[in-house]
């Protein structure tokens, strides 16, 4: 792509979208509609007919379809969310919703998660409209609400209530993949996501006998809950290798010229050095206690205590996760899913993955593409209800020392202008050939 307008627009659109505050605090406290209207207007200018859809007033989604040249080909879903997590302005070097462009960098909440990708999509679509480009496959574009919470007003609503808009889609592409990972020794890795751990956010409840804080109480709900939380936090989950993670370890072993010993994964991870960070969170299930709530006065033993745990499970390992939680919580603590979503796995030998690899390698020939499984989750979980296989592919070429993963939900979130330019070029190349 040599279109200067597209390169300028991706920067402008990223900045503009950041300035539209779409903070999602959970519990329905978010308004994505201004960002949705902005995106819809840019699509309409490119000759598309976007549809705006809401389950709840102000929680707006945008869907549009680009007709491909091959009616027999399966359609491809290209999706990005419009909401962002909260940001405290006092903690930032610039205001998080300024969209400031300084020294070749765009600053603000959403710069990497994921208004940058939203802007790339818009810039590519508009470039195609100017050049008369038609992709081989139908491409369905979806900008969603509520990804940073339950997705009930976003991709979940679209999948459950508007499935017809995604007719023919067999694969989907969205965030968290094809970014530069620098290993500290001069190598550049480009992980492309072909899987996600499942989400198991848990609510733990312990009940006991309320009473005076000065009295002996063997039925203390807080004590019971604290013991269960400690067991969960201390638990060592067993190793479980999914096909995606096996492929990632094998590819990384080849890059680093070490034996791909999958019988000693912990030893292999040590040999991979910093690159182990791409896979070490996805070789096991996990459960991390995050919140506790009990009592209302220091000298009163409450009759109930509650905690929350962020649990994640690998594809095929949900039953093991459930059974283990039953054992760890014990007979005195009940647990339930506060929020649950499936684990995902996508083939790494598909033509679509090969197209993503080729697109990255064309513009980063010195890089090494590797498969990986995301430790968290995306809207691909909800779209999987429609039989859509999800990949993570939001390309960015990042300079050494730029800690991309730390900026997700972090302070001073930002993205280099050159990274956005790379992303537009790679996305254009991929979508033409997918």
Is 147 assigned a catalytic role? Answer: yes
Question: How far is residue 198's CA from residue 381's CA, in Å, rounded to a whole number?
Answer: 8
DSSP-derived secondary structure for 121-142: HHHHHHHHHHHT---SS-EEEE
Q: Could you say which of 146, 147, 251, 428 is catalytic?
A: 147
Angle at 341 between CA 340 and CA 342, to 5 degrees: 130
Question: How far is residue 128's CA from residue 124's CA, in Å, rounded to a whole number?
Answer: 6
Q: Are 178 and 395 in contact (CB under 8 A)?
A: yes
Question: How far is residue 19's CA from residue 38's CA, in Å, rounded to a whole number?
Answer: 11
Question: How far is residue 371's CA from residue 214's CA, in Å, rounded to a whole number?
Answer: 57
Is 280 assigned a catalytic role? Answer: no
Question: How far is residue 212's CA from residue 299's CA, in Å, rounded to a whole number?
Answer: 6
Q: Could you say which of 9, 32, 83, 413 is catalytic?
A: 83
Task: Work out whether strand 169-174 and strand 389-392 pair parallel, antiparallel, or are unpaired.
Answer: parallel
Question: Burial code of 48-65, b = ≥16 C-beta within 10 A, e = fewer?
Answer: bebeebebeeebbbbbbb
DSSP-derived secondary structure for 206-237: EE---EETTS--TT-HHHHHHHHHHHHHH--P
Residue 117 structure tokens: 């990708």
Cite the active site residues: 83, 147
């Amino acid at each position: 792509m040599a279109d200067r307008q597209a390169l300028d627009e991706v920067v402008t659109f990223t900045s503009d979208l950041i300035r539209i505050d779409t903070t999602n605090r959970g519990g329905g406290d978010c308004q994505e509609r201004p960002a949705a209207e902005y995106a819809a207007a840019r699509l309409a200018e490119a000759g598309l007919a976007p549809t705006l859809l809401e389950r709840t007033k102000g929680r707006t989604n945008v869907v549009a379809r680009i007709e491909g040249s091959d009616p027999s080909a399966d359609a491809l879903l290209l999706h990005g969310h419009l909401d962002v997590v909260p940001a405290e302005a006092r903690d930032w070097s610039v205001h998080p919703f300024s969209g400031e462009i300084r020294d070749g960098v765009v600053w603000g909440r959403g710069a990497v998660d994921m208004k940058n990708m939203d802007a790339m999509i818009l810039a590519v679509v508009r470039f195609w409209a100017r050049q008369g480009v038609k992709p081989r496959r139908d491409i369905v574009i979806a900008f969603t609400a509520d990804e940073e919470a339950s997705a009930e007003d976003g991709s979940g609503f679209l999948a459950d209530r508007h499935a017809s808009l995604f007719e023919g889609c067999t694969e989907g592409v969205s965030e968290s993949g094809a970014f530069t990972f620098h290993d500290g020794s001069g190598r550049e890795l480009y992980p492309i996501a072909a899987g996600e751990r499942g989400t198991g956010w848990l609510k733990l409840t312990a009940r006991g006998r309320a009473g005076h804080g000065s009295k002996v109480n063997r039925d203390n709900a807080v004590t019971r809950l604290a013991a269960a939380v400690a067991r969960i936090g201390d638990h060592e989950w067993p190793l479980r290798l999914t096909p995606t993670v096996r492929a990632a370890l094998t590819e990384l072993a080849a890059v680093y010229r070490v034996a791909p010993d999958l019988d000693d994964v912990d030893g292999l991870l040590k040999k991979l050095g910093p690159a182990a960070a791409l896979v070490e969170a996805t070789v096991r299930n996990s459960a991390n206690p995050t919140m506790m709530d009990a009592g209302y006065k220091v000298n009163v033993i409450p009759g109930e205590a509650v905690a929350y745990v962020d649990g994640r499970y690998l594809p095929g390992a949900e039953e093991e996760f459930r059974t283990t939680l039953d054992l760890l919580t014990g007979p005195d603590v009940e647990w339930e899913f506060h929020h649950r979503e499936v684990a995902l796995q996508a083939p790494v030998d598909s033509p679509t993955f090969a197209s993503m690899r080729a697109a990255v390698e064309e513009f980063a020939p010195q890089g090494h593409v590797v498969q990986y499984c995301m430790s968290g989750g995306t809207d691909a979980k909800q779209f999987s209800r429609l039989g859509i296989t999800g990949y993570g592919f939001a390309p960015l070429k990042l300079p050494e020392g730029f800690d991309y993963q730390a900026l997700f939900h972090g302070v001073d979130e930002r993205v280099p202008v050159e990274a956005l330019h790379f992303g537009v070029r790679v996305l254009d190349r991929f979508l033409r050939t997918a």
